[in-house]
Amino acid sequence: MVLNGFDIGSGYENYEAKKPFTFADHSSIGCGGYARAAFYPKTTEGLSALIGKLEADKVPFYVVGNMTNVLPPDGESRRVFVCMNKLKDIRTKDGVYVSAGVTAGELLHKCKALSKTGAEFLEGIPCTLGGALYMNAGVKGAYIGDITESVTVLKKGRLRVIKRKDCTFSYKHSAFMDDETVIVGANLRLENADKEKIGKKLEEYRARRAHLPKGRSMGCVFKNPEGLFAGELIEGTGLKGFRVGGAKVSETHGNFIINDRGATSAQVRTLIGIVKNAVFAQYKIRLEEEIRILE
Ligand SMILES: Cc1cc2nc3c(=O)[nH]c(=O)nc-3n(C[C@H](O)[C@H](O)[C@H](O)COP(=O)(O)OP(=O)(O)OC[C@H]3O[C@@H](n4cnc5c(N)ncnc54)[C@H](O)[C@@H]3O)c2cc1C
């Protein structure tokens, strides 16, 4: 089968292939151009076959989840996209195994049905499990790495199970960033609890997020420097509401950039640069992006 110039072979019934793949439609920030092709593996075997084929043919690719922490490129990406959000499986024999494409919402719904507690802090984070593990997503004091037993990855054509200690989770960091491993799923450490308690915890986490800005964004753009809040530093520079074209620094949360008027990725990048320069000029602190900038 040839898809927009890529010969992707045949016999890979376990994934769907689509073209074109427009970033404005698929990313939470809603800007950027397109990829020539996108693939949606539905099983681990399909994923394995697809990655094997792309690697053998030296086709550059990105693996993505819900695209809620990425800034896609304008124009055509040099890479094809492997979209994990159809790889959905939650198995509860010998612990809780969750596939990379399961969203936080789906996981929490299942946990409540099974009376399992521990993952409630993911409430409202618009992630897939794979994206959460890659980014070590969470909220202050509770991160996905804290409840992970092991992560199943695809590396050099083989499935491997990586123990938590070897995932080197830390603030907004995981070992998966260092070698661009494909995350397939994870075993999570969850405890039993009654449904009412779980429901209350979910409500608490939901309430804490009520103040977050609405609109298209990537969540927090910058990591918090040790002991400080990037949002407060940005607010201190007076840049709240400052805009470059369709991209603006949120009026309610300095660490969010909102796309409210058809921004291009270049405009978002320019705004990121302006914010970094302003924070450095005022505080001599270099902000570091939390978001991943795709090429
Ligand atoms: C409104 C809003 C609120 C947010 N709130 C929070 C919050 O409270 N806490 C928080 O931590 N984050 C938050 N985020 C950011 C974002 O949701 C998280 O970083 C999330 O973990 C990203 O998951 P994703 O599935 O969208 O990953 P993507 O954005 O698709 O990908 C992120 C990175 O992970 C890589 N990746 C994704 N899946 C895989 C995989 N299976 N294997 C290998 N690499 C993979 C991608 O290549 C990319 O580099 C928020 C974002 C938004 C838009």
In a domain, 215, yes or no: no
- Whether residue 26 has pLDDT greater than 70: yes
Query: Is residue 86 a contact partner of residue 101, using CB atoms and an 8 Å limit?
Result: yes
Q: What confidence score (pLDDT) does residue 6 get?
A: 55
Q: What's the CA gap between 224 and 55, in Å, rounded?
A: 36
- Whether residue 154 has pLDDT greater than 90: yes
pLDDT tens, 91-110?
998 789 999 999 999 999 99
Let me know whether 143 and 182 are in one domain.
Answer: yes
Q: What's the CA gap between 84 and 142, in Å, rounded?
A: 24
Let me know whether 253 and 167 are in one domain.
Answer: no
Counting from 1 in the atom list of ligand 1, the atom nearest the Cα of 153 is: 42
CB atoms near residue 152 (< 10 Å): 18
Q: Which two tokens stand for residue 207?
A: 């309430």
Contact residues of ligand 1, CB 6 A cut-off: 28, 62-70, 84, 100, 125-128, 130-132, 134-135, 137-139, 176, 182-183, 217-219, 292
pLDDT tens, 115-132?
999 999 999 999 999 999
| Pure H helices in 18-61 | 23-26, 44-56
CATH code for the domain in which residue 268 is found: 3.90.78.10
Q: Which two tokens stand for residue 217?
A: 């964004």
pLDDT band at residue 12 using 50, 70 and 90 as cut-offs: very low
CB atoms near residue 164 (< 10 Å): 17
Give, for ligand 1, the residue of 70, 125, 256 to mutate: max count of ligand atoms closer than 8 Å to Cβ: 125
The candidate with the shortest Cα–Cα distance to 48, out of 167, 163, 153, 178, is 153
- Whether residue 19 has pLDDT greater than 70: no
Structural domains of the chain, count: 3
- Domain with 60, as residue range(s), is 2-83
CA of 67 to the centre of ligand 1 (A): 6
Average pLDDT value for the chain: 93
pLDDT tens, 248-276?
999 999 999 999 999 999 999 999 999 99
- Whether residue 7 has pLDDT greater than 70: no
Let me know whether 65 and 7 are in one domain.
Answer: yes
Q: What's the CA gap between 132 and 135, in Å, rounded?
A: 5
In a domain, 224, yes or no: no
CA of 232 to the centre of ligand 1 (A): 22
DSSP state of 248: E
In a domain, 29, yes or no: yes
In a domain, 218, yes or no: no
- Residue reference for tokens 């086709």: 59
CA of 292 to the centre of ligand 1 (A): 9
Q: What's the pTM?
A: 0.95
Listed residues 59, 83, 107: the one ending a domain: 83
Q: Which of 55-59, 66-70, 147-151 has the lowest mean pLDDT?
A: 55-59
Q: What confidence score (pLDDT) does residue 2 get?
A: 56
Average pLDDT over residues 187-200: 96
DSSP state of 52: H
Q: Which two tokens stand for residue 104?
A: 């936080």
Listed residues 52, 83, 114: the one ending a domain: 83
Counting from 1 in the atom list of ligand 1, the atom nearest the Cα of 69 is: 29
Let me know whether 156 and 199 are in one domain.
Answer: yes
In a domain, 221, yes or no: no
Average pLDDT over residues 39-55: 89
Q: What confidence score (pLDDT) does residue 13 get?
A: 41
Let me know whether 194 and 94 are in one domain.
Answer: yes
Listed residues 157, 177, 208: the one ending a domain: 208
Let me know whether 56 and 108 are in one domain.
Answer: no
Q: Which residue's C-alpha comes closest to atom 46 of ligand 1?
A: 64
Q: Which residue's C-alpha comes closest to atom 19 of ligand 1?
A: 69
In a domain, 275, yes or no: yes
Q: What confidence score (pLDDT) does residue 1 get?
A: 55
Let me know whether 264 and 185 are in one domain.
Answer: no
- Whether residue 17 has pLDDT greater than 80: no
Let me know whether 50 and 122 are in one domain.
Answer: no
Q: Which residue's C-alpha comes closest to atom 27 of ligand 1?
A: 131
Q: What confidence score (pLDDT) does residue 57 get?
A: 85
In a domain, 178, yes or no: yes
Within 65-195, strands assigned E span: 70-71, 80-83, 90-91, 96-99, 116-117, 138-139, 142-143, 148-155, 158-163, 182-188, 191-192
Let me know whether 98 and 202 are in one domain.
Answer: yes
Q: What confidence score (pLDDT) does residue 93 get?
A: 83
In a domain, 276, yes or no: yes
- Whether residue 32 has pLDDT greater than 50: yes
Q: What's the CA gap between 147 and 140, in Å, rounded?
A: 14
Let me know whether 41 and 98 are in one domain.
Answer: no
- Whether residue 148 has pLDDT greater than 50: yes
pLDDT tens, 196-239?
999 999 999 999 999 999 999 999 999 999 999 999 999 999 99
CA of 64 to the centre of ligand 1 (A): 8
CATH code for the domain in which residue 59 is found: 3.30.43.10
The whole-angstrom distance between residue 130's C-alpha and the CA centroid of its chain comes to 7
Let me know whether 58 and 127 are in one domain.
Answer: no
Give, for ligand 1, the residue of 54, 69, 292 to mutate: max count of ligand atoms closer than 8 Å to Cβ: 69
